[in-house]
Amino acid sequence: MKLLEKLKIGDLELKNRLVMAPMTRSRANAQGEVNNLIVKYYVQRASAGLIITEAVNISEQAIGSPLTPGLYTREQITSWKKVTDAVHEANGLIFAQLWHTGRVGHSIDKKGVLPVSASAIAIEGQTHFTSQGPKEYETPRELTTEEVKQIIQDYKQAAINAKEAGFDGVELHSAFGYLPNQFLVDGANKRNDEFGGSIENRSRFVLEIMNALVEVFGKDKAGIKLSPSIPYNGMIDSDPTALFSYLISELNKLPLAYIQLMQPMFPIDAFPTWPKDVLTTFGHLFDKTIIVNGGYDQQKGEQELENNRAHLVSYGSAFIANPDLPKRFELNAELNTPDRNTMYGGGEKGFTDYPFLEQ
């Protein structure tokens, strides 16, 4: 089974080709520090070829949802060090996913401060999960050019902090409608400075961040997650094929660890020209490691590897419910079913209490 074969990314040897996808679980404390329960959660899943953490806020401004962890205070760095030490002791590899939510947030959980974005355009037709229940999205404040450049430095500092915390690498969350994605798509970015307008300008924010992450971590230690055909959080672009073809071609010039491509996870019938299979449309533009993500089971994941369309497959809810997922795939064992009600917030229930096979 190709899913269980080893793979080298630079000097990192992955013991299999299953990646634990980054998944928000909202179990940090109010200060954005991770606790011993979170240490246990990641260690339980250290049999993955690579763990990518839940999204981690790069600054106080980056916060969009309550009880999500950060990497910008001394205490947060120290708390993550316990996670990386424990995962390494269990012979695992772990990358931190770096996060700025941009307009995907609410002032209720930002000390009354409005969210920021590429442009002052609100997300429509959705509500946001806040500490006071679902709320309509607010119109964000447009960032100044100087502020955009400062956020690039915030990403760089978060990477420095991730390195200090013992992470093996970092991933930029540039998917699913968060700030980097907001700069990319022309439906959310109406700027007229160097970060808006043309595809080249709209890609600049992401490319400058990736250059900064490479500068900190070096070759083969920085990855990026992209969702070219996902309209969620108002990510509507007039020509995603042209946009992401340019972006991925430029990313290919950098010594990245990988790109993680999300397949469409929502109906896109309203967008007939959008790529229906991101690997077919964009895979040939990137000659390094490709991780594919988006509702894969064992059979479909194995098929992508067999057909050499991807090198790794990332699994989300399957890893939530099955801490020993590689072993279950190896034995063709039955999988535990994830409990949707305990995905976000709470304690060990639905977090660290899913049974292993031997239990």
Q: Kindly compute the dihedral angle of the four CA atoms of residues 246, 247, 248, 252, in this order, to the nearest 10 degrees.
A: 100
Closest CA to 80 of 169, 172, 162, 173: 162
Using a 10 angstrom Cβ sphere, with 0-12 exposed, 13-18 middle and 19 or more buried, the burial of residue 91 is: exposed
Using a 10 angstrom Cβ sphere, with 0-12 exposed, 13-18 middle and 19 or more buried, the burial of residue 88 is: middle
First to last CA, the chain: 25
- Token readout for 211 is 């250059």
| Catalytic residue chosen out of the listed positions 41, 42, 178, 315 | 178
354 counts as catalytic: no
* Cα 255 from chain centroid (whole Å): 19
Q: Which 8-state DSSP code applies to residue 189?
A: -
Q: DSSP H helical segments within 168-236, as ranges?
A: 179-184, 199-217
Show which residues are catalytic. Answer: 178
